[in-house]
């Protein structure tokens, strides 16, 4: 008698950490294979199940019979099954929830089969590309010496199928994309490559670049694909008709046959971590695949994560450095302006005299300006000058942001999205002396239009890019010089090729610098470094002006010195002193409850237990204690074995467990 050990991809429970076993009826004995999708009884229902393994050993408990086979083509292989178990274990999730990542829900419907092209008999793939706009590409160049050396170093590992890890560290415009392309070209026929990017919609040029070289063998996986397109994409990878997959983190979970190379561009990006159970990091899943498929993993960035940087020091990741920009452009000159000095001069404007003058000069000489402020809206809050009260969201403990555009004026909570009317008096003391405080991108745009009459501006933030394609439209319009100035949040920091941008202005660098999180410095450095990299991309040297209230902050000084290694060395030392990653591993346990007292009581009880287990931890209410009407309490446990905590505490489902969290507040 045969038994099938299965995953139940639709089982949402966060505590079902074991697989299930069913007996195989004799009539199915010869047809059952690992990876098939079958139907099994579960309680009073039936559920779809993925076969993880088949065995002849009778388990020591009673088993029910498999109902029938739904899809007889194996959907996953042993390598994927191993990876499912590893992810579930490491991230304290369940194998069932993890297995669902590998199974697009379109496959669970009646029409799971791919749509074939009538002429070629192949899977219909043309639609993956049609939504890409034609963009002008940088000229094809022969690789520089630096590029050629890196390609030569990694190529043998691709050919010999070695599970090695590499970091390509190079500034914006140093030609990492060309290296990715050349490495993918080294794959043998039948081998597949995966290129992960943080957000495909922000990198239209990259997708186009690969499409130009690989044509329909490229699958660009993005959120705008419809259900049929997603299903076809999945099958075209499974059937080896797609050789190169470019996509966001979910494209890790295609059923690759023979993965020969994995590349993660902008490896430090927070988009690579999933914020729901299973809270995996793409880099770690990719590393696991690299071991399973015996293929190199290549990380690329101008500003690595501290974790990756530490591993280059340990030499578990090989470091390759690109020092030159392709066109031999000099790095931009960086000027730091102390806004306190401006106040002393009596200048209370958003713009320092230097930045305003530089903007005017640049615009007058037919060049373009990029202005960065990582806060959308018009003003970050409304405060009463009589009693000090700040208007807050009724569901969350944060201030409401004022939105003020020609079309609409309203208050909004940037956490839960709640809208409110703009008050005329303080909701606490009814005084009429209420004022907007804190600047957002809308205010920057409006102020510019007043200061420089006739200036053409564009704004890119979450409020202007809600419609499909919108970021790309703004970007294309700016690139065609239909505007002089682009104002934006962090979305303008991504890989834009904008040759006419001569000046980058950072309106207020302090946002993000003082967040009480151990990664605040690292994040700010990475973000500001990327933003600075947008200045002067062709032959000219660019100019960057950073406005701040903390001109001697180490992050800003390292940026100005253009000294990446100095910053990383200091930052590593700080982390070591405080036992934070990458020196130690931490797991964040967050207790969430609608009742404030229950939340605090449960969390404090857990802290008591951790003390008795002699596990080092930090516990505190979340920076925003109440979010969406639920109270949040964080406990950061400094341990390599968070599983022992889960076992011992018999934690209720109100706990969210995040191993290697990206933020701790
Ligand atoms: Zn908003
Ligand atoms: Zn008041
Ligand atoms: Zn809210």
Domain segments of the chain as ranges:
3-103, 127-321, 333-376+440-575, 586-659
* Superfamily of the domain at 3-103: PriA, 3(prime) DNA-binding domain (3.40.1440.60)
Q: How confident is the model at residue 367 (pLDDT cuts 50, 70, 90)?
A: very high
Mean per-residue pLDDT of the chain: 91
Distance 392 CA to ligand 3 centre (A): 8
**Average pLDDT, stretch 217-232?**
83
**Average pLDDT, stretch 473-487?**
93
Which residues are CB-neighbours of 591 under 8 A, at least 6 positions away? Answer: 599, 602, 603, 606, 632, 633, 635, 654, 655, 656
Closest to 46 in 3D by CA, of 68, 14, 17? 68
pLDDT for 142: 82
Instruction: Write the DSSP assignment of 336-356 as a string of letters.
Output: EEEHHHHHHHT--SSS-HHHH
> For residue 391, which ligand has an atom nearest its CA?
2
**Average pLDDT, stretch 255-264?**
96
* C-alpha atoms less than 13 angstroms from C-alpha of 357 in its C-beta half-sphere: 4
Distance 409 CA to ligand 2 centre (A): 21
Distance 339 CA to ligand 1 centre (A): 26
| Alpha-carbon span 600 to 621, nearest angstrom | 8
The protein residues having their C-beta less than 5 angstroms from ligand 1 (an ion) are 377, 412
pLDDT for 215: 81
Asked if 241 and 218 count as a contact pair (C-beta separation under 8 A), the reply is no
> Higher model confidence: residue 259 or residue 213?
259
Distance 436 CA to ligand 1 centre (A): 15
pLDDT for 135: 55
> Higher model confidence: residue 131 or residue 21?
21
Distance 377 CA to ligand 2 centre (A): 23
Closest to 85 in 3D by CA, of 62, 59, 60, 53? 53
**Which range among 166-180, 202-216, 260-274, 357-371 shows the weakest confidence by mean pLDDT?**
202-216
**Average pLDDT, stretch 452-465?**
93
Q: How confident is the model at residue 114 (pLDDT cuts 50, 70, 90)?
A: confident
Quick one: tokens of 458? 């564009």
Distance 403 CA to ligand 1 centre (A): 6
| Alpha-carbon span 397 to 441, nearest angstrom | 23
Q: Is the pLDDT of residue 256 over 90?
A: yes
Q: Is the pLDDT of residue 127 over 70?
A: no
pLDDT for 533: 86
Q: How confident is the model at residue 216 (pLDDT cuts 50, 70, 90)?
A: confident
pLDDT for 138: 60
> Higher model confidence: residue 210 or residue 268?
268
Q: Is the pLDDT of residue 132 over 60?
A: no
pLDDT for 208: 79
pLDDT for 326: 67
Q: How confident is the model at residue 131 (pLDDT cuts 50, 70, 90)?
A: low
Instruction: Write down the CATH number for the domain with range 333-376+440-575.
Output: 3.40.50.300
Q: Is the pLDDT of residue 335 over 90?
A: yes
> Higher model confidence: residue 212 or residue 38?
38
> For residue 629, which ligand has an atom nearest its CA?
3
Closest to 230 in 3D by CA, of 112, 363, 341? 112
**Average pLDDT, stretch 257-274?**
96
Instruction: Write down the CATH number for the domain with range 127-321.
Output: 3.40.50.300
**Which range among 65-69, 209-213, 279-283 shows the weakest confidence by mean pLDDT?**
209-213
Q: How many CB atoms lie within 10 A of CB 267?
A: 25
Asked if 14 and 94 count as a contact pair (C-beta separation under 8 A), the reply is yes
Distance 658 CA to ligand 1 centre (A): 28
Distance 665 CA to ligand 2 centre (A): 29
Distance 361 CA to ligand 3 centre (A): 42
* C-alpha atoms less than 13 angstroms from C-alpha of 96 in its C-beta half-sphere: 18
Distance 393 CA to ligand 2 centre (A): 16
> For residue 414, which ligand has an atom nearest its CA?
1
Class of domain 586-659: alpha beta
| Alpha-carbon span 155 to 150, nearest angstrom | 9
Distance 412 CA to ligand 1 centre (A): 6
Q: Is the pLDDT of residue 224 over 80?
A: no
pLDDT for 110: 82
Distance 625 CA to ligand 3 centre (A): 11
Distance 655 CA to ligand 1 centre (A): 29
**Average pLDDT, stretch 280-304?**
97
**Average pLDDT, stretch 132-138?**
56
Q: Is the dihedral of CA 619, 621, 624, 628 positive or negative?
A: positive
Task: Calculate the dihedral angle through the C-alpha atoms of 69, 70, 72, 73, rounding to the nearest 10 degrees.
Answer: -150
Long-range (24+ apart) CB contacts under 8 A made by 461-470 are 461/376, 461/488, 461/489, 461/491, 462/376, 462/489, 462/491, 463/376, 463/377, 463/403, 463/405, 465/491, 468/224, 469/131, 469/133
Asked if 483 and 458 count as a contact pair (C-beta separation under 8 A), the reply is yes
CA dist 520 → 82, 151, 233, 309, 493 (Å): 35, 34, 38, 17, 17
- Output DSSP code: residue 651: -
Q: How confident is the model at residue 592 (pLDDT cuts 50, 70, 90)?
A: very high
| Alpha-carbon span 95 to 18, nearest angstrom | 7
pLDDT for 496: 67
Domain 127-321 matches domain 333-376+440-575 at the CATH topology level: yes
> For residue 384, which ligand has an atom nearest its CA?
2
> Higher model confidence: residue 400 or residue 141?
400
pLDDT for 541: 82
Hey, is 168 helix, strand or coil? strand
Distance 443 CA to ligand 3 centre (A): 22
> For residue 410, which ligand has an atom nearest its CA?
1
pLDDT for 134: 56
Distance 270 CA to ligand 1 centre (A): 21
CA dist 382 → 136, 266, 282, 446, 625 (Å): 44, 37, 39, 18, 20
pLDDT for 471: 83
Distance 287 CA to ligand 3 centre (A): 38
Distance 390 CA to ligand 3 centre (A): 14
> For residue 441, which ligand has an atom nearest its CA?
1
- Alpha helix stretches (DSSP H) within 66-164: 78-90, 95-101, 127-130, 145-159
Distance 541 CA to ligand 3 centre (A): 44
Stated as kind and residue range, the H or E segment containing 655 is strand 655-659
pLDDT digits (tens, 9 = 90+) for 382-402: 999 999 999 999 999 999 999
């Amino acid at each position: 008698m045969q038994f099938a050990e299965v995953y139940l991809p639709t089982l949402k429970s966060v505590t079902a950490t074991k697989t299930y076993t069913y007996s195989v009826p004799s009539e199915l004995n010869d047809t059952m294979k690992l990876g098939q999708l079958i139907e099994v009884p579960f309680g009073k229902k039936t559920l779809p199940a993925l076969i993880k393994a088949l065995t002849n050993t009778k388990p020591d408990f009673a088993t029910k019979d498999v109902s029938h086979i739904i899809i007889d083509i194996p959907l996953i292989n042993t390598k994927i099954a191993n990876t499912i178990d590893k992810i579930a274990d490491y991230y304290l999730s369940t194998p069932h929830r993890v297995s669902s990542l590998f199974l697009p829900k379109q496959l669970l419907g009646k029409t799971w089969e791919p749509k074939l092209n009538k002429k070629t008999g192949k899977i219909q793939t043309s639609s993956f590309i049609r939504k890409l706009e034609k963009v002008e590409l940088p000229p094809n160049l022969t690789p520089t010496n630096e590029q050629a050396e890196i390609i030569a170093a990694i190529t043998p590992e691709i050919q010999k199928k070695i599970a090695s890890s590499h970091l390509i560290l190079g500034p914006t415009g140093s030609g990492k994309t060309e290296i990715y392309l050349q490495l993918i070209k080294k794959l043998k026929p039948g081998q597949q490559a995966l290129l992960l990017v943080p957000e495909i919609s922000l990198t239209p040029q990259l997708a186009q670049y690969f499409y130009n070289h690989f044509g329909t063998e490229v699958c660009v996986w993005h959120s705008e694909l419809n259900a049929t397109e997603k299903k076809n994409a999945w099958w075209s990878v499974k059937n080896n008709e797609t050789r190169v997959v470019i996509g966001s983190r979910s494209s890790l979970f295609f059923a690759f046959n023979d993965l020969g190379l994995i590349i993660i561009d902008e490896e430090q990006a927070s988009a690579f971590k999933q914020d729901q159970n299973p809270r995996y990091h793409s880099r770690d899943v990719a590393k696991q695949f690299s071991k399973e498929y015996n293929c190199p993993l290549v990380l690329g960035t101008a500003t690595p994560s501290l974790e990756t940087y530490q591993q280059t020091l340990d030499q578990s990741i090989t470091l390759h450095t690109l020092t030159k920009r392709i066109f031999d452009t000099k790095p931009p000159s960086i000027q730091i302006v102390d806004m306190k000095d401006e106040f002393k001069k009596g200048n209370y404007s958003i713009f320092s005299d230097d930045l305003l003058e530089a903007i005017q000069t640049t615009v007058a000489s037919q060049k373009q300006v990029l202005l960065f402020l990582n806060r959308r809206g018009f003003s970050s809050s409304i405060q009463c000058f009589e009693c000090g009260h700040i208007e807050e969201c009724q569901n969350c403990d944060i201030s409401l942001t004022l939105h003020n555009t020609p079309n609409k004026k309203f208050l909004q909570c940037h956490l839960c999205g709640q809208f409110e009317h703009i008050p005329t008096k303080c909701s606490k003391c009814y005084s009429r002396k209420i004022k907007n405080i804190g600047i957002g991108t809308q205010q920057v745009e409006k102020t510019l239009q007043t200061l420089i009459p006739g200036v053409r501006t564009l704004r890119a933030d979450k409020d202007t890019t809600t419609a499909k394609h919108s970021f790309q439209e703004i970007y294309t319009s700016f690139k065609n010089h239909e505007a002089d100035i682009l104002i934006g949040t962090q979305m303008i920091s991504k890989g834009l090729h904008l040759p006419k941008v001569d000046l980058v202005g950072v309106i207020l660098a302090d946002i993000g610098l003082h967040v009480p999180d151990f990664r605040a410095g690292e994040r700010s450095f990475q973000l500001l470094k990327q933003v600075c990299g947008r200045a002067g991309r062709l032959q000219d040297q660019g100019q960057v002006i950073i406005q701040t209230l903390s001109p001697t902050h180490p992050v800003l000084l390292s940026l100005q010195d253009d000294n990446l290694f100095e910053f990383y060395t200091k930052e590593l030392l700080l982390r070591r002193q405080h036992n934070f990653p990458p020196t130690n591993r931490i797991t964040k346990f967050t207790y969430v409850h609608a009742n404030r007292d229950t939340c605090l009581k449960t969390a404090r009880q857990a802290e008591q237990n951790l003390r008795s287990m002699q596990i080092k931890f930090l516990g505190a209410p979340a920076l925003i204690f109440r979010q969406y009407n639920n109270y949040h309490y964080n406990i950061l446990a400094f341990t390599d074995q968070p599983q022992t905590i889960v076992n011992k505490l018999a934690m209720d489902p109100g706990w969210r467990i995040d191993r290697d969290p990206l933020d701790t507040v």
